[in-house]
A = this chain, B = another copy of it.
Amino acid sequence: MLVCQESLFTEAPPATGGIIVPSKNSKEPRETLNRERVLRAAVSLADECGIDSVTMRELGRRLEVKAASLYNHIASRDDLLGGMVDLALSEIAVPTEGVFWKETMRRRAISAREVFARHRWAAGLIDSRDRTGPDSLAYVDRVLGVLIQAGFSPAAAANAFLVLDSYLYGFERQRPDVSIEDGFERSEAARKILAAIPHGGYQNAARVAMEYAEHPFDQEAAFEFGLGLILDGLERQLGADSTRR
């Protein structure tokens, strides 16, 4: 299914050709396009080939339609990206209100990380873009509900939400591309790092590098460590606020 090689042809394929999109039975009259089909195609294109390859023209090619036609279903490329983010965020597991808020928030964060692993382009697209899509809004409302029900004031709940998601998105964007894998390569890497230290420069960075060469960096553990830190802090704040009241 992964068809990301830069197109070998610039011209449109012959209309008869089932070669390019083999999974599509071209006999049945193609059902008409709509916003959802466009968004879903964009998401899988981004998943497979990276966000940079999500161009109007490439997306049109995938949907067997000219780029200009897409504007019947989306307002602009920005609108497209916004819709894609909305779709991705909607995959984050729904917090269930019955569970203890801390556990709910932890599960939500881990679920979000799984979503961001599946859609590696998504975290980079969440920013000034308003989170006003209906799915997103419902999601935000549910998260706030869990926190308010747990005893946070509306403002404190919003604050907690913001702090948690800042960490979540920020961690995701720093997701390191660790490439060194087997033991030999690791110690070899450490040796090189030491050799490259120019006469006592970057000593601290070198110590960390050596440490990681021996005990590889556990990204998931690092994430959950920070998550726990924040959740514990929020819990303490909640306790302080409720005794004061």
A173 within 8 A of B: yes
The segment out of A3-11, A34-42, A222-230 that lies at the interface is A222-230
Contact A222 B162 (CB under 8 A): yes
Which residues from chain B contact A144 at a C-beta distance below 8 Å? 204-205, 207-208
A103 an interface residue at 8 Å Cβ cutoff?
Answer: no
A60 within 8 A of B: no
Question: CA separation between A209 and B59, bound complex, in Å?
Answer: 38
Look across to chain B and name the residue whose beta carbon is closest to the beta carbon of A228. B233
Interface string of A192-229 (1 = CB under 8 A from B): 00000000011111011011100101000010011011
Determine which of B138, B155, B173, B226 lies in contact with A211 in the assembled complex, contact meaning CB atoms within 8 Å: B155
CB-contact partner of A202 in B141, B203, B210, B233, under 8 A? B141
What sequence of 0s and 1s flags, for each residue 61-87 of chain A, a beta carbon within 8 Å of any chain B beta carbon?
000000000000000000000000000
Asked if residues A173 and B229 are in contact (CB atoms below 8 Å), the reply is: no
* B169 engages A226 (CB within 8 Å): no
Q: Is A148 an interface residue (CB 8 A)?
A: yes
Stretch from A13-21, A22-30, A122-130, A182-190 contacting the other chain:
A122-130
State whether B155 touches A226 (Cβ < 8 A). no
Sort A-B residue pairs by CB-CB distance and give the 9 closest, nearest first.
Answer: A170-B170, A229-B233, A163-B226, A166-B170, A144-B204, A166-B171, A169-B170, A154-B207, A145-B204
